[in-house]
Every structure is written in structure tokens, then in C-alpha cells.
Structure 1
Amino acid sequence: MLHSILMADVISSHKKDAAQLLDQFKLTVKAINNQFADTIISPLTITLGDEFQGISTSVSSGVLLILAMEEFILANAFDFKLRYILAQGQIETPINTKNAHEMMGEGLTHARKQLNNLKNKEARFLLTSSTADHIMLTTLNDSFKLYQHFIDSWKVKDYPLVHQFLMNEDYKKIASQLNLNKSTTWRRKKSLLIDEYRTSKNIILNLCKLHDFR
């Protein structure tokens, strides 16, 4: 049986305040585990301080975890970025449903290797699957490149405003809530490419609906 393995690490973690980073990282992992408990087989577990691994019910479910984690980091204005690998593979030992430790298998070895390889590339997201349609999987990975373009264009100081735009599409209401000029708020929405971000995210979600990536 193939399992959907999700691994991630913090980019340039050595440049961050270690205590603050670990607190924020733990909070992020805990929040996603709680939010998606029904679609996580082995919970996301921090392994080396700046890395985590876990097992989701499907690749599509893993994609939802990634998107939710990125928006949680955004919503809390955390100053770190993650690099993800979501891969299908075999796990020969029993699945640990309490934490993602004490498991072995080709799938975990492959995912770890792919995550290490990703460190030499600009992409922060990589999905691999031996059963998914090649064109569909390639399109999904290309869509994540577009998604990354938008989220990486935002500075941490922009996160609170971006979060408001993602929670409410009506810029006039946001301007009123934040006591901002409406024209300025509209221009900020355009310059932050909020609509384009939404489009890239919707493409990813729709691709997952077209193919369940189990």
C-alpha cells in the first residue's frame, strides 16, 4: 500500500532566533494537526527542530495541509518559510498514529532524499506520485510554482493586510475596518496580487478535485 508522506523543513533556520522559531513552528504544526485530524493518519511531528513529517490520507489531503499551513503562517505574521515534499511511497513498519516516529520504509527514504534535493532549488513545493497521471501531476507542480510566486512576493509586514484581504473580498469593508482610504486599499489589493493568488490556489484545489491523487 502506498502512503502519502508529507515532509517539510524551515528555510535558513540558522538565521532565525531559535527559541522564537521553535515556538512558532510548534504552534503551526499543532494548529494544522488539530484542524485536519480527520485526514491525518500519522500526525505532523517535528523531528529535528526545524523539520516535520507526517502521513495524510491522500496526496490531495496533503495538499490541503500545505495550503492551510501557509495561510496559518500568514495569518500569524510568522517570519519563516517552509520547503515541502509530498510523496507517495511504501512504509514497511506499522504506522504510528500517535506521532510520526519509529517508522521505516522506501517511501520515507525517498521523501527525505527529495526534500534534501529541493534545498538546491528555488521551488518550495514538490509533489511526487507513482500512480498519478504524469501530465496532471506536472500541472499541479507548475501551479504550485505560480502559487509560490505570489506568496513569496509578500513581505512579513504585509501579512496582516493580506490576511484581511483573504478573509474578506470587499476592499471597502476592509478599508472601513482598518480606517484606511478606500482608494489606497484598492491599490494595495491590486499591488499585492490578491486576486491572482486566489486564482492560483483555486487551480491547485480544482486539479485535486479532478484527480483524487490517492
Structure 2
Amino acid sequence: MAGRYILMGDIVGSSTYKASKLRREFKQIVSSCNKTFEREILSPYTITLGDEFQGVTRSLRGLFDAVFYLEEISLLKRLKFKMRYAGLHGEIDTPINRMKAHGMMGAGLTRAREMLTAKRRGKPRFQFELPNAQMTKELNLLFLAIDGIIAKWDPDDGPLILDMIANNNNVAVGKKHKKNRTQIWKRRKNMLIEEFRALKEVVLDLAK
């Protein structure tokens, strides 16, 4: 049985948020991810429990595109919650459900859930497991650094952060957010925006 790229995720500390608002926001970003990457998805990201989702992608690049998208759209919407992710290449024994990620079974899905739900002190927010052990190590280390940067960001600065990631022009970003070029330069430096962009570029290059 051929391996598939599986992505699962859940909300960190979901019980500490208002359930109805959390469910609505979670559903919105998962749905948006499905629409954005429709061509890259074999089985759409589906909320399996109130605070968990799973899906199957066509490629490793598609898996990482989804992870970055979910992180970045959460910033855009100034969402307060964070998500954990478990991504791997593993077997699915049953036919791929093209409508929703339900009713499938296999060692890959079982392993992804084990990774996501394992309770251990200091467990990384991003975990990946691939056939190539060296690539697995490199990607997990890269995401450890990425998460360290994201952890320093204030969700209320989300739209500004995304604009700095997307646009190198401090003057243009400043005009949009009513700040001068020097203020944007300082924010870019203090928030490690260029470091984030570099790490993201390396991840996506590895996934080609």
C-alpha cells in the first residue's frame, strides 16, 4: 500500500476558550484552507472532534503549505488560540474519502494520532515523521525555531506581521498601518520577521 501525506492538528488548551466562538473560528480557518489548497488535497481537512482536524495531501509541499496557511490566517484574524500539528508519510489501507477525512483506517493515521495526543512534557507544537530520518530531524528542528519566533508575536499584531512577511517595503507597510518607515524597520527587526521568512523558505525548499 502506497504511503500518503497525512496532517492532523488540534487546538492547544481548547477547554480554556468559549466553545461556541472557538468552534466557529476553527471551522472558518479549516474551511478556508480547503478552498485555498483544493488541488493539493486528496481528502479535505475535516474537523473530527470539536477541536481536532485531519486530512490527506497530495505532496509534502502541500502539507507544509497547509501548516503555514493555518498559522498565517490565524494571525490575520487575530485568533488567540494556537494549534498543534502532526504530519507524516504513512499508509492508509482503506480507500481515500474524497469528500471528507472520515471512515479511513491505516497505520499512518494511527501513528499521526499517537503523535498528536502523546502527553509528554515539552512536546513540540509541530511534529513531523518522514521515511528519510535526516529530513525528519531537519524539519523538526526548523519548526522548533519557527515556533520560537511565532511564540513572541502578539495576535493583535497579526495583520501587521503578515504584511511585513509579504512586503519588504517598510514605507508601504507603514502607510497601511499608520507607522513610519523607522517604526516598521524596528518592528521587523524585533519580531524576527526576516528570520521567519528564511526558515519558511528552507522548509518549502526541502519539501520540493
Q: Compute the TM-score of the two structures, normalised by the length of structure 2.
A: 0.94
Q: How much does 1:140 deviate?
A: 1.3
Q: 1:202 to 1:193 in 2, by over 3 A?
A: same
Which stretch of the first structure deviates more once superposed, 32-41 or 173-182?
173-182
CA distance in structure 2 between the aligned counterparts of 1:176 and 1:90, rounded to whole angstroms:
50
One-letter code aligned to 1:14? S
One-letter code aligned to 1:141? N
Q: Any residues of structure 2 matched to 1:67-82 within 5 Å, and which?
A: 67-82=68-83
SS in 2 for 1:123: coil
Please say if residues 118 and 124 of structure 1, whose CA atoms lie closer than 8 Å, have aligned partners that are also in contact. no
Q: How much does 1:119 deviate?
A: 6.0
Residue 25 (structure 2) aligns with: 24
Residue 13 (structure 1) aligns with: 14
CA distance in structure 2 between the aligned counterparts of 1:7 and 1:105, rounded to whole angstroms:
14
Residue 182 (structure 2) aligns with: 183
Please say if residues 160 and 177 of structure 2, whose CA atoms lie closer than 8 Å, have aligned partners that are also in contact. no
Fraction of identical pairs, as percent: 36
CA distance in structure 2 between the aligned counterparts of 1:121 and 1:182, rounded to whole angstroms:
38
Please say if residues 161 and 193 of structure 2, whose CA atoms lie closer than 8 Å, have aligned partners that are also in contact. yes
CA distance in structure 2 between the aligned counterparts of 1:182 and 1:88, rounded to whole angstroms:
44
CA distance in structure 2 between the aligned counterparts of 1:120 and 1:22, rounded to whole angstroms:
27
CA distance in structure 2 between the aligned counterparts of 1:12 and 1:57, rounded to whole angstroms:
30
Q: 1:119 to 1:26 in 2, by over 3 A?
A: farther
CA distance in structure 1 between the aligned counterparts of 2:15 and 2:39, rounded to whole angstroms:
34
CA distance in structure 1 between the aligned counterparts of 2:35 and 2:120, rounded to whole angstroms:
28
SS in 2 for 1:47: strand
Q: How much does 1:124 deviate?
A: 0.8
SS in 1 for 2:202: helix
Residue 123 (structure 1) aligns with: 124
Q: Any residues of structure 2 matched to 1:34-183 within 5 Å, and which?
A: 34-117=35-118, 120-129=121-130, 131-132=131-132, 134-183=133-182
Structure 1: runs of 5 or more not aligned: 210-214
CA distance in structure 2 between the aligned counterparts of 1:87 and 1:191, rounded to whole angstroms:
33
One-letter code aligned to 1:21? L
CA distance in structure 2 between the aligned counterparts of 1:30 and 1:120, rounded to whole angstroms:
31
Residue 212 (structure 1) aligns with: none
The C-alpha deviation readout for 1:166-214, integer Å capped at 9, x for no partner, is 23211111222222233222211111111111111111111112xxxxx
Residue 197 (structure 1) aligns with: 196
SS in 2 for 1:126: strand
Please say if residues 44 and 101 of structure 2, whose CA atoms lie closer than 8 Å, have aligned partners that are also in contact. yes
SS in 2 for 1:79: coil
Please say if residues 59 and 86 of structure 1, whose CA atoms lie closer than 8 Å, have aligned partners that are also in contact. no
Please say if residues 165 and 194 of structure 2, whose CA atoms lie closer than 8 Å, have aligned partners that are also in contact. no
Please say if residues 41 and 57 of structure 1, whose CA atoms lie closer than 8 Å, have aligned partners that are also in contact. yes
Give aligned pairs, total: 207
CA distance in structure 2 between the aligned counterparts of 1:119 and 1:48, rounded to whole angstroms:
21
SS in 2 for 1:45: strand
One-letter code aligned to 1:156? P
CA distance in structure 1 between the aligned counterparts of 2:177 and 2:59, rounded to whole angstroms:
40
Q: 1:83 to 1:118 in 2, by over 3 A?
A: farther
CA distance in structure 2 between the aligned counterparts of 1:56 and 1:111, rounded to whole angstroms:
14
